[in-house]
Amino acid sequence: MTAALDDPPAAGVTVGADSLAGGSSGPAALEPMIAAALRAMAAGAHRRGGPLPTGDPATVAAGVAAALDGSPLPEHGVGAIEAVTALTGELTAGTADPADPRCAGHLHCPPLAVAVAAEVVAAALNPSLDSWDQGPSATALEPWVIRALAGLVGYGPEAAGVLTSGGTESNLMGLLLARDAAVEKTSGRSAAVHGLGPAGTRLRIFCSEVAHFSVRRNAALLGLGEESVVAVAVDGAYRMDPAALDDHLAAAVRDGLIPAAVVATAGTTDFGSIDPLPEVTALARRYGAWSHVDAAYGGGALFSDRLAGLLDGLDRADSVALDLHKLGWQPVAAGVFLAGAAGALRPLARRVAYLNPADDEAAGYPSLLGHSLRTTRRVDALKIAVTLRALGRRGVGRLVDACHDLARHAADRISADGRLELAAPPVLSTVVFRYRADPAHTDTVNGDLRRRLLRDGAAVIGRTEIDGAVWLKLTLLNPHATTADVDALLDAVRAAGDGTRAEAVA
C-alpha cells in the first residue's frame, strides 16, 4: 500500500464517496479507501484484543448502533473515509475472528490473505457469470476451477459443475437433479415443466441420522416435504450403517415408494465422520436412486496425501458438494457442486433471450447460465484459482494435515484430563467432548461454561447434542495454531467449567 490515509489523491483522481472501483481511476480511488479500511481493521482488532468482543449481545449491538450514529441511511452522507473507518472499525472490534486460535466453534475458517486479495479484485471488477458479456474472462476461468476440483474428486473430463453459495445450495442442486430424474423415470414427464405429478408423494430421500439439516430443508423446498427424508441409523463412529440403509430401501420399494436419492455425508458437521462411500453408492445404484455425497466439510481431505484415502469411492457418486470456505481457507462463499456424468446439469439449462441467445451460442459465445440456480453470480472462481495456484495441492494439503494434527493433539489432551470426556476419536479436525460434572448438572454446566467463555471474550467453542445431552466441540480450522494454543484453549474450558460447576453446586 503506497498511499496513506492523509496523502492527497493522485492528480486527476476524484476520491469522492461516489468514486467507482473500476475504470482507469478505480485503483487510485480504491487505494486510500482500502488504506483507511486496513487501518481501521488494525485498530478494531486491537480494541477487541481477543477472539471475540467482551460482553453480551446487547454490548455488541450498542457498539454497532453507535458507529451508525443512529442510522445507516443519513439524509446527507458522511463521506467515504469516515464511513469506511467508523463501520469497518466497529465490525472488526465486534467480530469473532477465526484467525484467533481461541475461535474454534464452527466450520468457520480463517481465510487466506491471498484469497482475500483476489476477492477485493472480484468485487472491484464485479463480473457476473450469467452471460459471457458480463464476464468474458470469468466465464473462461470458472470451468478450469471446476475441472480441477472434479479431477480431485476422481471424476472424468465429462464431469460438470458450478460454484455455489455453499453446501446448502450444493445439496439442493443434488437433490433437485435426483428428484427430476426420479419423476422423469416414473412418469416420463419433466418435473421442471409439469411439476411432480402423482409420483411426488412417493419419492424418498435417504441420509444418515447425523446428516446436515439442509437435506431436510431442501426436501421441503423441492416440494417433497421433510417427511420424505428417511434417517438411517449410524454406527458407534457416527457413520451410516449400510445394512440399515439396505433395509430402509427394501422396505420403501415394498411399500410402493420410490427411492429418489441417497445422500452420504463425507465429514459430518459435528464428528467429521465419513459414511462408507463404496457401500452407500452401490446401494443407491442397486435401487435406482441418485447418489449424492455431502462432502462440504470432508472434501478438503482430498488435498491431503494422508487423508484423501478416507474419501475412496467418492468418484462413484452421481454428485458431490464441496465447501472451500471450510477446509479450503476461502472467504465465504466458496461452495462447489459437481456431477460426474456428461449432461448431468441439462435439467438446469434455460434459454433466455437477453442472456444466452442461440445465435450467440452458435457463434461461439459460451454461457454458464444453465449450470446454476442463480442468475447474477459472483466470480468466486478467482479467489479459489489464485489460492490453488499459490499453494498447489500439496500446500493446501499441508494446511489440512496441520488441522488434523491439532485435533489429534486435542483428543489426547482431553483423554488425559480426568475432568474432560471425549465423545469419539477425531476423524478430520473436530473434537467433541464435555466437561464432567455430576449427572444432574452436566448439561447446564456445559451450556453455561460455553456462554461464560463468550461473555468474557475468552473463546468461541462449539456446542452440540448427542442423544439430547449437551456436548462441546472444538472445530480446529486454523492451520497456524500450535499445540500450545490448543492446550491454552482447553485450559480455559476447564477453568470456565470449574467456575460454572462451583456456582451450579452452590
Ligand X SMILES: *Cc1c(COP(=O)(O)O)cnc(C)c1O
Binding residues (CB under 6 A) for ligand X: these are 107, 166-168, 212, 214, 265, 267-269, 294, 296-297, 323, 335
Measured from the CB atom, the residue of 40 and 266 that comes closer to ligand X is: 266
Measured from the CB atom, the residue of 183 and 317 that comes closer to ligand X is: 317
Kindly state the cell numbers that stand for 378: 459472483
Task: Give the separation between CA 423 and CA 400, rounded to whole angstroms.
Answer: 22
| Three-state SS annotation for 67-115 | HHCCCCCCCCCCCHHHHHHHHHHHHHHCCCCCCCCCEECCCCCCCCHHH
Measured from the CB atom, the residue of 155 and 297 that comes closer to ligand X is: 297
CB of residue 394 to ligand X, shortest distance in Å: 24
Please state the φ and ψ torsions of residue 293, each to the nearest 5 degrees: -110, 120
Task: Give the separation between CA 260 and CA 196, rounded to whole angstroms.
Answer: 12
Nearest residue to the partner ligand X, using Cβ:
166
Contact 356, 370 (CB under 8 A): yes
Kindly state the cell numbers that stand for 174: 443434488
Contact 241, 234 (CB under 8 A): yes
Contact 207, 232 (CB under 8 A): yes
Measured from the CB atom, the residue of 178 and 496 that comes closer to ligand X is: 178
Neighbouring CB atoms inside 10 A of 192's CB total: 15
Task: Give the separation between CA 217 and CA 172, rounded to whole angstroms.
Answer: 9
Kindly state the cell numbers that stand for 203: 419419492
Radius of gyration for the chain, computed over Cα atoms and rounded to the nearest angstrom: 25
Residue type (1 letter), 188: G
CB of residue 215 to ligand X, shortest distance in Å: 8
CB of residue 296 to ligand X, shortest distance in Å: 4
Task: Give the separation between CA 391 and CA 485, rounded to whole angstroms.
Answer: 24
CB of residue 294 to ligand X, shortest distance in Å: 5
Contact 257, 202 (CB under 8 A): yes
CB of residue 224 to ligand X, shortest distance in Å: 18
CB of residue 142 to ligand X, shortest distance in Å: 18
Measured from the CB atom, the residue of 302 and 355 that comes closer to ligand X is: 302
Task: Give the separation between CA 382 and CA 140, rounded to whole angstroms.
Answer: 11
CB of residue 434 to ligand X, shortest distance in Å: 21
CB of residue 321 to ligand X, shortest distance in Å: 7
Measured from the CB atom, the residue of 212 and 452 that comes closer to ligand X is: 212
Please state the φ and ψ torsions of residue 116, each to the nearest 5 degrees: -70, -35
Residue type (1 letter), 80: A
Measured from the CB atom, the residue of 260 and 295 that comes closer to ligand X is: 295
Measured from the CB atom, the residue of 207 and 445 that comes closer to ligand X is: 207
